[in-house]
Structure 1
Amino acid sequence: MNKPGLSEKNKNTDQKLVKTLKKGDVFAFNELFHKYSQKVYNFSIKHLENEEDVKDLVQEIFMKIWDKRKEIDANKSFNGFLFTITLNLIRNYFRKKVKDRKLVNKWLEETEPYSDSTKLSIEFRSLEKVVNTIVEQLPPKRRMVFRLSRNEGISNDDIARRMNIQKKTVENHLNLALRYLRERLQEQSFLVILFFVLFY
């Protein structure tokens, strides 16, 4: 049985937005910006030393998406496109901005094999498998709550009704699941952490 990956609902929503984005639709661009910009910020602020640099980075990432909108394949994952642009621009910022050379060297060494977009597309799929493997280690009920929320995009209220539990119990399961996943992800590479922050 295949394990569920990123939410099909989210994929379909992104696909519709990308199709209109390719035509120059500003509303679609704003929707994608509001959906993902805070996640890019949250990841970047942990690794860059200046908040203004992080804000500049987020703006640059989404300006790049706007500039390259006609190159996006609406039939493929927007997540992969965003992941590629984000990774490559963060690599550039690390080179220029981060003073901790050990951290820079670690980042560049880990991500160098994936600076090529084709290799990164393959890596994107393997990253999803890594995160799914960690999710599988959650207790059964907690794992079910997490997957219903993150993979199927179901609201906490609907999860509570479906599983016949309190909404507060759903929230507790999600908080504990995310805490566990963050702890486990600290053992993983920058790529896995970036993937998780952007898409979960």
Structure 2
Amino acid sequence: MPEVSDELLLTWQHRIAAGDETAFNQLFRCFYIRLVDFAANILKARPPAEEIVNDVFVKLWQRRQHLPEVQKIKVFLYVAARNGCYNYLRSNSLWSVTVGIDQVSSITNLQDPESDLAFRELQHRLNIIISILPEQCRQVFRMVREDGLKYKEVAEILQISPRTVETQLFRAIKKIRQELERTYASSSTNSNHNQGQMLQALLLLVLFQ
């Protein structure tokens, strides 16, 4: 389905808040597949991704009277799907993924405090890597991945092209991956299997936070 304008999304949002089922169905058809693909990339499985996205839309309809308070319905849907995935991972894995009120995500191991400590060390390493990225690269990464801004919005703020935003984000993620994998390869505090799990969990945060 082609990209829908912000104006049309806002119209749907207000109509849904008023109980318009047609507008709700239009929003559902527009975003359902996209959100399922997004969730499936996080969970590496489609059935639970479909359940999570269905639940997102059910709750949206049940709480539609609160929709006028939502600033950007598209961002709202993706954040809801992401948080649903994190809740699923927390319930179905040794790794507990939590999202605080400040939207900062973290992962902890429920059965191995030693592994949890090692993972926190990796998280600390991630923060260091981000802090030493080139200035524009770091700005773009934080604005897109941490603040949830669109490429166009970041481009307008930094007065660069959306293409440059995309390029800088790609470079940031590539550099972070390389540095984390280098840290993982040189670490000897855990078994290779456990380190691999930790690295995979941390990269999940980098790519989808």
TM-score under structure 2 length normalisation: 0.50
Indicate the SS of the match to 2:149. Answer: helix
Identity among equivalent pairs (%): 18
Residue 91 (structure 1) aligned to one of 86, 90, 97: 86
Say if 1:76 and 1:46 are closer, same or farther in 2 by CA, change over 3 A.
closer
Question: What is the deviation of 1:126?
Answer: 2.4
Q: Which residue of 2 aligns with 1:67?
A: 62
Contact 1:185–1:192, Cα closer than 8 Å, also in 2: yes
Question: What is the deviation of 1:92?
Answer: 1.2
Question: What is the deviation of 1:55?
Answer: 1.3
1:36-47 equivalence runs, <5 A: 36-47=31-42
Q: Which has the higher contact order (CA 8 A, sep 6+)?
A: 1
Normalized per residue, which structure has more strand?
2
Letter in 1 for 2:162: V
- Kindly indicate whether residue 132 of structure 2 is the aligned counterpart of residue 137 of structure 1: no
Deviations 1:100-146 (A, max 9, x none): x4xx45xx26x434179xxxxx99882216784693427xxxx8xxx
Question: What is the deviation of 1:194?
Answer: 4.6
Say if 1:29 and 1:129 are closer, same or farther in 2 by CA, change over 3 A.
closer
Letter in 2 for 1:64: K
Q: Which residue of 1 aligns with 2:16?
A: 21
4+ aligned runs moved over 4 Å, structure 1: 122-125, 180-195
The count of residues paired between Structure 1 and Structure 2 equals 137
Gaps in structure 1 of 5+ consecutive residues: 1-6, 117-121, 144-176, 196-200
Question: What is the deviation of 1:44?
Answer: 1.2
TM-score under structure 1 length normalisation: 0.52
Gaps in structure 2 of 5+ consecutive residues: 106-142, 156-160, 178-202
Q: Which residue of 2 aligns with 1:114?
A: 103
Q: Which residue of 2 aligns with 1:128?
A: 149
Question: What is the deviation of 1:80?
Answer: 3.4
Question: What is the deviation of 1:15?
Answer: 0.7
Letter in 2 for 1:29: F
C-alpha separation in 2, matches of 1:30 and 1:59: 12
Question: What is the deviation of 1:24?
Answer: 1.4
Question: What is the deviation of 1:72?
Answer: 0.8
Say if 1:183 and 1:62 are closer, same or farther in 2 by CA, change over 3 A.
farther
Question: What is the deviation of 1:84?
Answer: 3.6
C-alpha separation in 2, matches of 1:54 and 1:67: 20
Question: What is the deviation of 1:74?
Answer: 6.3
